[in-house]
Structure 1
Amino acid sequence: MSGTDLMGPALKDTPWTFDDFPQGEPMAEVAVELNAERAALWAGLYGGPQAQAGEPAPRGLAVAAMMEAYIRAIQPRPPGNVHAGQTLTFHGRPKVGAVLTARFTVVKKEMKKERRWLTLGVEMFEGDDKLLSGEILSIWAA
């Protein structure tokens, strides 16, 4: 499956710690192609007709691409992180064959009850068209 890391350096030699995240600053930009292989896998998992090149893809496929970009955006990660939640707003629908670009920014960092809460903002684009925006909330392990 194709994907391209556009902006870094979110890749490090040692796992990311809470202190490494620069609040209010862009972290990473990652591209993921919604190719025919991804559309076929999606249709195989969830049923229904497979969207063809140039046709609108299911919004869930854009979310899967966003999560793949999130996983690739900041590496390596310490073991034990918890994906505590996310909020997303959809602004459009992607097309099969499009390259989607996800941009991540550190929105907020806070310590609560000895836990490291990290909020990353995400925006995903197809070219200049915004497809989704939102936040990913994590409890960071280190």
Structure 2
Amino acid sequence: MYSFDSLPVATTLGSRDLTLSEDLVNAWLRLFPEDRDDGRMGGRMPAGMVAVVAMRAYADVVAPRPPGNVHGAQRFEIVERPRVGERLVTAVAIRDKEVKRDRRWVHLATDTIGEDGTPRFRGRMTILWAA
């Protein structure tokens, strides 16, 4: 299990593949139907789904981890929205960690590339680490 002390700073922990299937996009659109109607999809992933891709990679790569971690913040930079059906690879790295006011904070980076090797989006997450 990853503990705060065992998390290696400035290290990529691993990566995960995810195919942006129609089923996955349709599941999103059932929750957020307005994303289908905004006229901007054009066969591309809805912008809000970047969090789904990044969190799935985080959950798979940073495991096992202690129960009780709290997702504190996240932000994304979209370079290009992936096409529906595209295979994505998301790398998860520990950018930094710190203790502030007796709380353990972990700062993660996710970088997602498309099947052609070009960047699709980047994410930064801050996690309040439980142990």
Give the TM-score of the pair, scaled to structure 2: 0.88
Unmatched segments (≥5 aa) in structure 2? none
Q: Does residue 25 of the first structure (1) align with residue 14 of the second (2)?
A: no
Contact 1:119–1:138 (Cα < 8 Å) also in 2: yes
Deviations 1:21-75 (A, max 9, x none): 111111110111111110111121111549xxx9212122232121111111111
Which position in structure 2 is the counterpart of 1:141?
130
Q: 2:44 aligns with which of 56, 64, 71?
A: 56
Contact 1:62–1:94 (Cα < 8 Å) also in 2: no
Which position in structure 1 is the counterpart of 2:2?
16
Report how far residue 80 of structure 1 moved: 0.9
Q: 1:130 aligns with which of 119, 124, 128?
A: 119
Q: Does residue 99 of the first structure (1) align with residue 83 of the second (2)?
A: no
Structure number with greater CO (CA < 8 Å, separation at least 6) is 2
Q: 2:24 aligns with which of 34, 38, 42?
A: 38
The number of equivalent residue pairs is: 125
Alignment RMSD: 1.6
Q: Find the residue that maps to 1:63 and give its secondary structure.
A: helix
Q: Percent identity?
A: 30
Q: 1:71 aligns with which of 47, 59, 68?
A: 59
Unmatched segments (≥5 aa) in structure 1? 1-14
